[in-house]
Amino acid sequence: MKVSVNWRVQTQLARIRHNFTETRPQRLNALLMEGFTIHDLKGNVMKNRFVLFRRGGVFYCEDTTTGKQSSLRTKDEAEANTLLHAKNESFRQPVINLQIARTYLTACDPALSARTWQHVMEQIISTKQGPTRERWEFASRDKAFDLIRHRKLVETTAEQFLAVLKSGTVSTNVYLRRAHNYALGLNWLPWPVLPRNHWPQVEYKDKRAITLEEHEKIIQRERNPATRAFFQLLWHLGGSQSDVANLTAENIDWRNRTVAYQRNKTGVAATISFGDEVANILKTLPESGLLFPALARIHERHRAKLFIKRLATVGISGVSLHSYRYAWAERAKQAGYPERFAMHALGHNSKAVHRAYAKNAQITLPPLEEYEKRMKANGEISLATSFAN
């Protein structure tokens, strides 16, 4: 490719700018930038995709193929010509322009052109601790991520992201979003790989509470006293499996009949009172140290697998150990337990989270006439009567 100067056209352009304060797009002069024409190696004039014109002192460009006009947001002619040249070059030499873009980006961050998605996941994992770190480590080994694991961030396309999401699960969708947003937040990605509105919707499986009948079947089938007591405390306390498995005798206040502990997941304090049935269960457990030493030593995944095996022996499906937590929230709502008490018992800081746990609770409302009779029998005063007085 070579560049030659056409001085006659340059003079014509100068005369047009002098006589008119506003120039409209014209194919004769808009093809040329500052009097230059572009030829290919055979000497033929190459037609530019975009042409330049000025309106109200601001420079615009027009796509000669679609006719679409857009502002270059500048009144400086030299800057407008530079932007126009870049637009034309982006269509003429896409491969070379990718290399040019990579060169500019590397000047700002030398590691940008070499950073891969595996590096992003490793960086995220290094910032996590405890169970959250374990979940990230497990998620990073997802086979679906192998499609982009060693691909450079700046070379990743939307099609490759969609291929990962198609071959993965709900967990793949969740963790890929987080990794993508993490890279964007650190400016490791100059632009989103997949726009927000184009991500497939995360569709979780329906979660349900375990019923009283199912719980009783499990208790009757379980032969290990410690494991049976573990399931019973899950039903009565509503704690997560990790929190209940790591309870100690020191968490029990026998004088006030309460169990108080800090949640492993969030560190939020949870306190719940217990009655005679729970007291009888607690008396069968160690008086010091861990209440469930054997269960506390194994990972939560293995406890979940043991529970699934127990479910298979009694013909129950569709629930997990976490279903006990949903069951407690629903039972509390059905019984009319104050929401703020239930939130404190479960260690929930958010009303939205707590209501999500109790959303499937079935509540039967008494007839209004029976409720009014009950109020009169108890000597209670209605709001209307109190306002009238």
Please list the pLDDT of the chain residue by residue as tens digits (389 residues). Answer: 444 445 454 555 444 444 444 444 444 344 344 444 444 444 444 577 889 999 888 999 998 888 899 999 999 999 999 888 888 877 766 655 656 666 665 556 667 778 899 999 999 999 998 888 989 999 999 999 999 999 999 889 999 999 999 999 999 999 999 999 999 998 888 889 998 889 998 887 888 899 999 999 999 999 999 999 999 999 999 989 999 999 999 999 999 999 998 888 888 888 888 999 999 999 999 999 999 999 999 988 899 999 999 999 999 999 999 999 999 888 888 888 888 877 877 877 776 656 666 677 665 556 667 667 777 777 655 544 444 44
CA dist 84 to 33, 62, 98, Å? Answer: 8, 10, 17
Residue 39: what pLDDT? 44
Residue 272: what pLDDT? 87
Residue 155: what pLDDT? 86
Q: Is 68 left (phi over 0), alpha (psi -120 to 50) or beta?
A: beta
Residue 335: what pLDDT? 82
CA dist 1 to 4, 48, 316, Å? Answer: 10, 14, 74
Residue 288: what pLDDT? 93
Task: Kindly state the tokens that stand for 316.
Answer: 């129950």
The C-alpha angle with vertex 87 and arms to 86 and 90, in degrees rounded to 5, equals: 85
Q: What is the DSSP string of 50-97?
A: EEEEEETTEEEEEETTT--EEE-----HHHHHHHHHHHHHHHH-HHHH
In terms of Cα–Cα distance, which of 189, 139, 196 is closest to 168? 139
SS3 304: helix
The dihedral through the CA atoms of 329, 334, 339, 344 has a sign that is negative
Q: How far apart are CA 276 and CA 257, in angstroms?
A: 9
3-state helix, strand, coil in the chain (%, to 5): 55, 10, 35
Residue 87: what pLDDT? 82
Beta strands in the chain (DSSP E): 2-5, 36-39, 50-55, 58-63, 69-71, 252-253, 258-262, 269-273
Residue 221: what pLDDT? 94
Residue 106: what pLDDT? 58
Q: How far apart are CA 47 and CA 27, in angstroms?
A: 10
pTM, to two decimals: 0.59
Contact predicate 237/274, CB 8 Å: yes
Residue 342: what pLDDT? 79
Residue 296: what pLDDT? 93
Task: Kindly state the tokens that stand for 335.
Answer: 């019984």
In terms of Cα–Cα distance, which of 8, 1, 56 is closest to 35? 8
Q: How far apart are CA 190 and CA 184, in angstroms?
A: 7
